[in-house]
Amino acid sequence: MKEKRFWLRTVILAIMLAAIGYTIYSNVFVEKKTIQVGDSAPDFVLTDLNGNKIQLSDYRGKGVFLNFWGTWCKPCEKEMPYINSQYNVYKNEGVEVIAVNAGEAKVTVQTFVDRFQLTFPVVIDQQDQVMNAYNIGPLPATFLIDKEGKIVDIITGMMTEEDVKKYMERIQP
């Protein structure tokens, strides 16, 4: 009985040490790819609030204003009407907006969208796969993507309506 317990404890200890070792290795030695201006924007597929699949690569040939946000984020709340207003100006000029929510409940996001009467596609990143691919830290964060799928600029923090207008003009094809 004591010998079985010894081997069981030894195996559990070995598994724990392996897990700790892997965690340290992956956090210290594995280089995470940082997205930079000039890089190709990582492609993704997410579902919008109407059940439609939104794939970034489907927007090639258009400028994309890719905004990461949350309903709890006060700067995000403040800039959403600006983004919507400028989207309505530039959508016929080849500029698209994709708003990626930070994994909140669909009902919460839908309530927010309805309150601000947003007219652009809003998707929810439930598993944080897109947020991780773009190395998103604090919200809001916006990536300007040109018609070739290249990142033109990365904006962190809140934008004014004038900022949004200027950025949409930059990615206009």
Q: Does 16 lie in the same domain as 85?
A: no
- Where in the sequence is the domain holding 3, given as residue range(s)? 1-30
Over residues 147-166, mean pLDDT: 96
* pLDDT value at residue 155: 96
- Residues 27 and 4: their CA atoms lie apart, in Å, by 35
Confidence of residue 30 (pLDDT cuts 50, 70, 90): low
Q: What is the pTM of this model?
A: 0.81
Residues 138 and 89 reside in one and the same domain: yes
- The model's pLDDT over 32-85, given as tens digits with 9 standing for 90+, comes to 568 899 999 999 999 999 999 999 999 999 999 999 999 999 999 999 999 999
Is 70 exceeded by the pLDDT of residue 26? no
Note whether 49 and 5 are same-domain residues. no
Answer yes or no: is pLDDT of 31 > 60: no
Domain count within the chain: 2
